[in-house]
Amino acid sequence: MDAYIHRDIFGTKRHLFIHTSGEYSWTERIPDDAWVFSREAALRSVNSIMRLLSIELPGLEFEEHVRSLREGLDVHVGTVPWHLILSKKQFGSWCSGLVERVGGAVQQFSSDRYAPTFISNGQCLPELRPACIDLDKLQGYLAAEDNATIRKTLISAVPEEGDLAERVTYSMVDTSTGRLVVRSGPQVLTLPKKYRDIFCSKHRGGTVYQVDFISLEPRVARLLSGTTVERDVYEAISREIFSGELERKEVKLAVLCALYGGSARRLSNMLSGRASAPTVIRKVRKYFAVVDLTTRLTAQLEKQGYIENFYGRRLHPTSDSKNLLISHFLQSTAVDVALKGFSQLVRQRCRGLRVDPLLVIHDALLLDVHPSDDEQFRRLVKEGVLLDGLGSFPLSLDVVSRSA
């Protein structure tokens, strides 16, 4: 895989092209589909590859010059023509070092099992559209909200002009499991659900819908054992394991205990003596084949120093706790499942429909749907998504807001 080092690294007029062979040359243009190492976030960012593979990013500044440039001349480092400031030997050595680090990272990534998933998921996020904001509703919420943190989140959705908010951009490498982080735009991941109706359709009579994966993480855990599962995981468990004697909320808590080490005491209090909490948890763990999964992950950690999610993403848990291994594995796999599923829904099955994806909120997606395509869209969502290697995932559909 070829790569480029952006001119903002060097302060030069041209970019540095790194060929697969390791040779390099200067060029004035970077193709849209190229992998780029730069100071600014890019769609196909070598910086992200390095963070994904736990490769230390190279130093980009020279301390003996930076302080005077920043304080004395008030110059932004990204605009400094380092080829004119450094000696020819210093600059050549720096370039060679960067070429080796950047080229090596790209080549390592090209053979990584997770690369196709990372690329495809990364391509679906830039297709999100700026969301239309109901300005009256937003101002009303701001006037009534006293919590400073929530107010700040609401303010992030205020458009600079007109009624379109800034398009949300995400990072897929800022958390240990790959859960998305908002880099710019409305801070939708921390926006309380009750305020989501600030997002409105740009179409007269249109609807903003929220599509959710149903019980995503426990469903992933069950599908990994090679067994299909019906729409409601918790009702299925109650019926198949406990003859329907446990309520859905009790089963849900038992699943949390079995997969993530939740409080058995809380479950015991909820069961009120009708069943033994340790026995319930043990049966649920068997249902999800937790022992087999933890054994595999523990062996993987001991051999490699990291574990991998279902698609091959490398995860570096802070301990060998079985609950932590399970949590990292399922959460990370669920992130990829959600992005793959949303991509399949929007890019393939809704192709040709007036359906604009707006925002990803963990395992939920907000979309703006034109009224003429509403019925077909609802039918597609009802069908769910089918992902190779895992199975079928049902989706739920809720109205966020409707435009008059």
- Domain positions in the chain are 3-112, 125-215+333-402, 217-321
Contacts of residue 320, defined as CB under 8 A and 6 or more positions apart, other chains included, come to: 298, 301
pLDDT at 66 over 90: no
Alpha-carbon separation of residue 117 from 120, 315, 332, 392 (angstroms): 5, 15, 12, 18
What's the average model confidence in pLDDT over 3-31? Answer: 89
d(CA 102, CA 53): 12
Task: Give the model's pLDDT for residue 53.
Answer: 92
Three-state SS at 5: strand
- 3-state DSSP helix/strand/coil percent for the chain, to nearest 5? 50, 15, 35
Task: Please say whether the dihedral angle defined by the alpha carbons of residues 57, 63, 69 and 72, taken in this order, is positive or negative.
Answer: positive
Asked if pLDDT for residue 65 goes beyond 70, the answer is no
* Segment 196-241, tens digit of pLDDT: 999 999 999 999 999 999 999 999 999 998 888 889 999 999 999 9
pLDDT in the model for residue 151: 97
Looking at residue 164, the DSSP 8-state letter turns out to be B
Residue 40 has pLDDT above 80, yes or no: no
Q: Which CATH architecture has domain 125-215+333-402?
A: 2-Layer Sandwich (3.30)
Q: Is 23 helix (H, G, I), strand (E, B) or coil?
A: coil
User: 88 pairs with which residues across the strands?
Assistant: none
Work out the average pLDDT over 324-340: 97
What is the pTM for the complete model shown?
0.90
The owner of tokens 């990272």 is 105
Q: Give the pLDDT mean for 132-158.
A: 97
**What pLDDT score does 78 carry?**
56
pLDDT of amino acid 365: 97
Helix (H) or strand (E) holding 65: helix 63-67
The first and second tokens of residue 398, run together, are: 């809720």
* pLDDT tens string 149-173: 999 999 999 999 999 999 999 999 9
Pairing of strands 35-37, 169-171: unpaired
Mean pLDDT of 303-329: 95
- Kindly give the pairing relationship between strand 395-402 and strand 207-213: antiparallel
Give the span between the Cα atoms of 387 and 344, in whole angstroms.
9
